[in-house]
């Protein structure tokens, strides 16, 4: 069964450094998402991406964040200058639209630790 | 904010049915009910979704009341591996750029006990 994959599984970085989190969505999916979950808190939506542009974003997704689909398979989340409060699990998801299949499938996540 | 209300925790004996309730009294006519679960810190896992009819798949059954203001997820024979946080989410179908995001609440922490 096709899966969303994410790399790395764990990223440790110093405050102020740039990080890029990578995702490979399910191959025929058209919508792509990033969510995050700070330890002990709810899963929070960051951004959705469709047709090579951002379709929705939350207040969390400020100028420090950017997303890109550099080729036909990868979907990346870049944090330009990490802060301590960016430490969280980051989940990628993808979706193929349709009334019976309109479902987001999530990857296993990347644990980001900012020191 | 999440448009659903769920009990924060529930226990279930292994092998018995787990019935997880969800209230969504402000649901709109074009909103689906989705259920996901999250085992420990893994990515949320899709379980089932429905609009107004009851649904069943290999993982679970979804019972939606006639007025659509509440639903129940049923795991027919819970196992220890079903211990997880279960999220009930309402969302419109994808329509170009509208209604794509999932809004997670606190969910129900289901503990399946031997």
Give pLDDT tens digits for B83-113: 999 999 998 766 655 547 899 999 999 999 9
Band (B78; pLDDT cuts 50, 70, 90): very high
Q: Which residues of chain A have pLDDT under 70?
A: 99-101
Cis amide linkage into residue B112, ω under 30° from 0: no
Cis amide linkage into residue A8, ω under 30° from 0: yes
CB atoms within 10 A of CB B113: 11
pLDDT of residue B1: 65
Could you say which residues from 26 to 55 on chain A have a Cβ atom under 8 Å away from some Cβ of chain B? 31, 33, 35, 37, 42-45, 48, 50, 55
Six token digits for residue A74: 């990868």
B32 in A contact zone (CB under 8 Å): yes
Q: CB under 8 Å to A62, separation ≥6 — which residues?
A: none
Task: Name B108's bridge partners.
Answer: B86
pLDDT of residue B70: 96
B102 in A contact zone (CB under 8 Å): yes
B40 conformational bin, left if phi > 0, alpha if psi -120 to 50, beta if neither: left
- Cβ-Cβ contacts under 8 Å between A and B: the total is 62
pLDDT of residue B96: 54
pLDDT of residue A83: 96
Picking from A49, A102, A107, A108 by the largest number of B CB atoms within 10 A of its own CB, the best residue to mutate is A102
CB atoms within 10 A of CB A43: 24
For the segment B5-38, what is each residue's pLDDT rounded down to a tens digit?
999 999 999 999 999 999 999 998 888 899 999 9
């Amino acid at each position: 069964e096709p899966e969303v994959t994410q790399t790395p599984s764990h990223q440790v970085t110093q405050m102020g450094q740039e990080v890029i989190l990578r995702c490979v969505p399910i191959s025929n999916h058209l919508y792509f998402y990033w969510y995050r979950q700070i330890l002990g808190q709810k899963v929070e939506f960051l951004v959705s991406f469709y047709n090579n542009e951002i379709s929705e974003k939350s207040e969390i997704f400020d100028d420090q964040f950017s997303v890109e689909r550099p080729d036909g398979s990868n979907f990346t989340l870049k944090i330009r200058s990490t802060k301590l409060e960016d430490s969280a699990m980051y989940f990628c998801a993808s979706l193929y639209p349709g009334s019976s299949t309109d479902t987001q499938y999530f990857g296993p996540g990347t644990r980001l630790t900012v020191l | 904010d999440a448009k659903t209300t769920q009990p924060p925790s529930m226990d279930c004996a292994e092998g018995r049915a787990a019935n997880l309730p969800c209230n969504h009294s402000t649901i709109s006519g074009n909103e689906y009910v989705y259920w996901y679960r999250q085992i420990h810190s893994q990515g949320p896992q899709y379980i089932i979704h429905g609009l107004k009819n009851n649904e069943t798949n290999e993982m679970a059954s979804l019972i939606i009341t006639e007025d659509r203001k509440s639903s129940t997820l049923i795991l027919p024979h819970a196992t220890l591996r079903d211990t997880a946080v279960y999220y009930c989410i309402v969302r419109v179908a994808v329509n170009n750029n509208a209604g794509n995001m999932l809004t997670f609440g606190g969910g129900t922490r289901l503990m399946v006990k031997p």
